[in-house]
Structure 1
């Protein structure tokens, strides 16, 4: 399992890459909504 802290561009890319590699991912973000600016 991989824990990613922060849903910014780098955090989202890390989470995406880990998930594509077959790992379980926990993404923690302090804001309730991740905006399109981060995607």
Structure 2
């Protein structure tokens, strides 16, 4: 694996990690809102 390939792979993985993290934050916020309205 060339350094350039590794760089692109790390960037892609970081984007996936950010997407998962954002999804978790939205999910927790929605849960909190749901509990607040109940």
Q: TM-score, normalised by structure 1?
A: 0.38
Q: Which has the higher helix share?
A: 2
The structure number with the bigger radius of gyration is 2
Structure ranking higher on relative contact order (CA contacts 8 Å, 6+ apart): 1
Q: TM-score, normalised by structure 2?
A: 0.39
Q: Which has the higher strand share?
A: 1
